[in-house]
Amino acid sequence: MTRTAVFICLLAANATCLRAQPAILTDFPGASLQNHAVSGNSISLNGVASWSEFDTSYRWVHFRATGMDGQNPRFTLGSPGNTFLGDLTDHRFVYSYDQQTWWFFDVNEGNSAFFTFSNDQPFTQDEVYVAYSTPYSVARTAERVDQLLTDWFAVPSPSANLQGVIDTIQGEPLWGLKITNPLSIQPKQRIVIATGNHSGEHGGMYAFEGFLNAITSDTPLAQGLRDIAEFYVYPQLDPLGRNEGFYRGNSQNPANDHNRFWNALTTGVNGGFQEIDILAAAMKSDTDSDVDFTFDFHGFFDSGPNYLYGDNRASRTVFVQELLRIEPDIEFTLDNRTTPAGILEFWAKTPAGLNSTYSFTPEFSPNMTSDELRQLGESYAEALFVHFGRPDVIYSTTQIDELAAAVRTQDPRPELDFNKDQHLDIADTLFYVNQVLGTVVGDANLDRRFDSSDLVQVFQAGVYEDAMTANALWSTGDWNGDAEFDSTDLVTVFQANTFQSTVISVPEPTAASLIIAAIFMVSFARLQRTIIPAISIRDC
């Protein structure tokens, strides 16, 4: 038995692995190899039928082989009765040793009926993963969701639980997230982004990841977009199909295309795809069925250019013009259909649908590296940033006052829990001041430092003269969130150790001495107001 004969694959839909020589079978999520045959240095492959409406054809290929160290096999696709659907001319298959870093095979040649791929040099490790294009696993999505939910600007969507899970399908999660600056004072755009509608179109998932990376960074672009918009994020529309190795559907209805059943006019009629009803209801509930932009990130199976589908109104937007300027190789394709048979049926503009003003279906080539796909996704975010006029983040003490008031009233909005401890308290205000605004407690004028100018501003306001009015704001000394300015606010400044921060600039001897002096001034003023006038009255 040759080393190449030791082969590992997962058989989607309970298919049987037919083999010319012994093989090892294992549970391998996302694989779709039906059978293989080894003949010398050649390995013939056939995939599990996973293309909607064609029960003998397949598109997605993903398997694992062992015994590959020092071997240089030639892989062949295609056989009578089980064909790879579509044109593979100029396509390139990929391989990996760890499913993290992927490389294209050196030799890729043939057509839809007969295709071979191989390397110029032997493999250098025992275990090798091979795929039609760079895979994007359900586990990768899960890791990204978990990481996002630790960021202050990301929370579960209103329809999801604390882990961002809306519901599950056979144990696979359906996620919903909301990304925004909740204290922004600008009017908000509602933007829906989603991917994984076709479970095997992984190019769209990597581009989606790039878009997500762009809007969740610390760049002015990300901060500006989070200020101007609420992003509703659905990163896994068909997790079942992705884990099962299907290309356009899943085992609930293997003969139908998952994308064809987002008919907003009906409920319950989803071709057997239960997740469509669940997610459609969640999206409409999360957004009140009123959306400004929608993006459904897809991949596709050809080796040609990347596409952007949209209707007449969408084609005239600054977004499209800027995107085509940044990425001139993208081809914009008009599709004015919003029926279940059309490209844009996912965002069908009907009274029962999402009622989106602008709808887009980007599609991405599988012949690109994951880094190239992520870069394209970032370009989509950049074009959106230009569309909204390159919005600046508007910082204001009004935002701090709004958060302090929310703490006092115990506002139930989860997005106000900035430090993610499941409690709304002054710690959230301090987090917002320090981590979001990048300043310190006591910075009444938001010049990114605490110094005498802040105290001058506070004392000139005079709110400390009558504590009973509870009318103090951040700008007038309310730094502990109780709507008053008194010595406790100065103690809060001191306890926060802001005088040690590198962003503080104080011309006085020390910030600590400023605080001590201010405490004395506040205490003296209150003593003068409450005791001295009383003595004067008795003397009279």
pLDDT for position 467: 52
Query: Do 419 and 336 belong together in one domain?
Result: no
Query: Do 103 and 198 belong together in one domain?
Result: no
Q: What is the pLDDT along the chain (540 residues), one digit of tens a residue?
A: 333 333 334 333 333 333 333 333 344 666 777 778 888 888 888 887 777 777 778 888 888 888 888 989 999 887 655 677 777 878 899 999 998 899 999 999 886 667 899 999 999 998 999 998 999 989 999 999 999 999 999 999 999 999 999 999 999 999 999 999 999 877 899 999 999 988 888 999 999 999 999 999 999 999 999 999 999 999 999 999 988 888 888 888 887 888 877 765 555 566 678 898 899 889 989 999 889 999 999 988 767 789 998 888 888 999 999 999 999 999 998 877 655 445 455 554 444 567 788 888 899 998 899 999 999 999 999 999 999 999 998 888 999 999 999 999 999 999 999 999 999 999 999 999 999 998 999 999 999 888 888 888 988 887 766 655 577 899 999 999 999 888 888 888 888 764 444 344 444 445 555 555 555 555 545 544 444 443 333 333
Place of tokens 């056939």: 46
pLDDT for position 456: 86
Query: Do 168 and 117 belong together in one domain?
Result: no
CB 273 within 8 A of CB 261: yes
Q: Sign of the C-alpha dihedral, residues 414, 416, 417, 419?
A: positive
Provide the domain limits for residue 484: 397-533
Tell which of 131, 152, 185 closes a domain.
131
Question: Could you tell me the strand order of the sheet in which 74-77 lies?
Answer: 33-39, 42-47, 74-77, 115-118, 107-110
DSSP string, 195-216: E-SSTT-HHHHHHHHHHHHHHT
One-letter amino acid identity for 304?
G
- 122 domain residue, yes or no: yes
Task: Kindly report the CATH number assigned to the domain that includes residue 170.
Answer: 3.40.630.10
- 392 domain residue, yes or no: no
pLDDT for position 214: 98
Query: Do 316 and 421 belong together in one domain?
Result: no
pLDDT for position 514: 58
Query: Do 170 and 75 belong together in one domain?
Result: no
DSSP letter at 131 equals: E
β-bridge mates for residue 44, sequence order: 37, 76
Query: Do 118 and 168 belong together in one domain?
Result: no
DSSP letter at 266 equals: -
Place of tokens 């921060």: 501
- 416 domain residue, yes or no: yes
> Residue 149 and residue 224: Cα distance in Å, rounded?
20
pLDDT for position 6: 38
Question: Cα 440 to chain center, whole Å?
Answer: 30
Query: Do 356 and 505 belong together in one domain?
Result: no
Query: Do 249 and 156 belong together in one domain?
Result: yes
> Residue 9 and residue 73: Cα distance in Å, rounded?
16
For residue 297 the two structure tokens come to 């990130």
CB 216 within 8 A of CB 176: no
Task: Kindly report the CATH number assigned to the domain that includes residue 123.
Answer: 2.60.40.3120
> Residue 197 and residue 373: Cα distance in Å, rounded?
17
> Residue 85 and residue 405: Cα distance in Å, rounded?
60
> Residue 529 and residue 123: Cα distance in Å, rounded?
85
DSSP string, 461-518: HTGGG-GGG----GGGT--SSSS--SHHHHHHHHHTTGGG-TT---SSS-HHHHHHHH
> Residue 287 and residue 192: Cα distance in Å, rounded?
9
Place of tokens 């399908």: 169
Give strand ranges (E) for 235-290.
none
For residue 204 the two structure tokens come to 């769209």
Number of domains within the chain: 3
Query: Do 228 and 334 belong together in one domain?
Result: yes
For residue 305 the two structure tokens come to 């250019």
- 105 domain residue, yes or no: yes
| Distance between start and end Cα atoms, the chain | 115
Tell which of 333, 367, 387 closes a domain.
387
> Residue 301 and residue 85: Cα distance in Å, rounded?
9
* List of residues 6+ apart from 57 with CB closer than 8 A: 49, 51, 82, 83, 84, 85
pTM (predicted TM-score): 0.86
Query: Do 344 and 401 belong together in one domain?
Result: no
Tell which of 387, 413, 433 closes a domain.
387
- 539 domain residue, yes or no: no
Query: Do 110 and 201 belong together in one domain?
Result: no
pLDDT for position 216: 98
> Residue 517 and residue 324: Cα distance in Å, rounded?
60
Give strand ranges (E) for 311-368.
331-334, 356-364
CA distances from 319 to 316, 327, 387, 444 (A): 8, 12, 5, 38
For residue 212 the two structure tokens come to 């997500």
What angle is formed at CA 158 by the lines to CA 152 and CA 163, rounded to 5 degrees? Answer: 60
Count CB-CB contacts under 10 A for residue 171.
Answer: 8
Query: Do 482 and 521 belong together in one domain?
Result: yes
> Residue 203 and residue 248: Cα distance in Å, rounded?
13
- 106 domain residue, yes or no: yes
- 111 domain residue, yes or no: yes
CA distances from 484 to 408, 465, 475, 478 (A): 12, 10, 11, 5
- 269 domain residue, yes or no: yes
